[in-house]
Amino acid sequence: MYHSNPNHNRFKFCPACGSNTLDPDSIKSFKCRECGFEFFLNCAAAAMAIILDDQNRILVTVRAKEPGKGSLDLPGGFAEPGESIDHGLVREIKEELNLDIFGLDFFCSFANAYPYKSVVYPITDMAFTCKVRDFALINPMDDVAGFRFIPVNELDINMFGMDSARKVLKKFKKYFQTLSKY
């Protein structure tokens, strides 16, 4: 939870009247002193895929772009306007890895922030376990530079550049160890 607007210094000019009078009005909104215009920077929805192969190895990607370029990540991305979160994840995994996922099952959600070009975007991250029938056509593309299959028990959280993936994997490792006991 934020105590102040993380972009309080970023936006100054009102998009409606053009005056230099746009003030932060809450942790997620701005209001113009001059004309009363209000602007909200609401949470963007993002999804990550937890995909295991038949040897309980998790599919991770290598980030091609900043932030966190070259570090490991979970595949996924933002839902587009007008798109559901599950359809967004299916689309992202197709775009990034040329894989068709199915059987999406909600695993967990975290609040996060995504700093990009000096704007901090508030994010609602969601992680889903997903299935893949055939990995044969896997092909890293788009904002993914490569991929690896890592046994869940050998996952090193510190190799992941994004806080979002680290939070999800920490929780998933615990969950997986509990499963393995039975």
What residues make contact with Zn ion under the rule CB under 5 A? Answer: 14, 16-17, 32, 34-35, 37
Q: How far is the CB of 81 from Zn ion (least distance, A)?
A: 25
Q: How far is the CB of 37 from Zn ion (least distance, A)?
A: 4
Q: Which is nearer to Zn ion, 16 or 43 (CB)?
A: 16
CA distance 71 to 165: 11
Q: How far is the CB of 118 from Zn ion (least distance, A)?
A: 22
Q: Which is nearer to Zn ion, 15 or 103 (CB)?
A: 15
For residue 137, CA distances in Å to 128, 161, 175 come to 21, 26, 29
Report the candidate in 164, 133, 174 with the shortest Cα–Cα distance to residue 48.
164
Q: Which is nearer to Zn ion, 40 or 116 (CB)?
A: 40
Q: Which is nearer to Zn ion, 11 or 114 (CB)?
A: 11
Q: Which is nearer to Zn ion, 35 or 111 (CB)?
A: 35
CA distance 28 to 8: 9
Residue with tokens 């895929």: 49
Q: How far is the CB of 49 from Zn ion (least distance, A)?
A: 42
The identity of residue 39, as a single letter, is F
For residue 129, CA distances in Å to 102, 126, 145, 177 come to 9, 10, 22, 16
Q: How far is the CB of 9 from Zn ion (least distance, A)?
A: 18
Tokens of 17: 């009247």
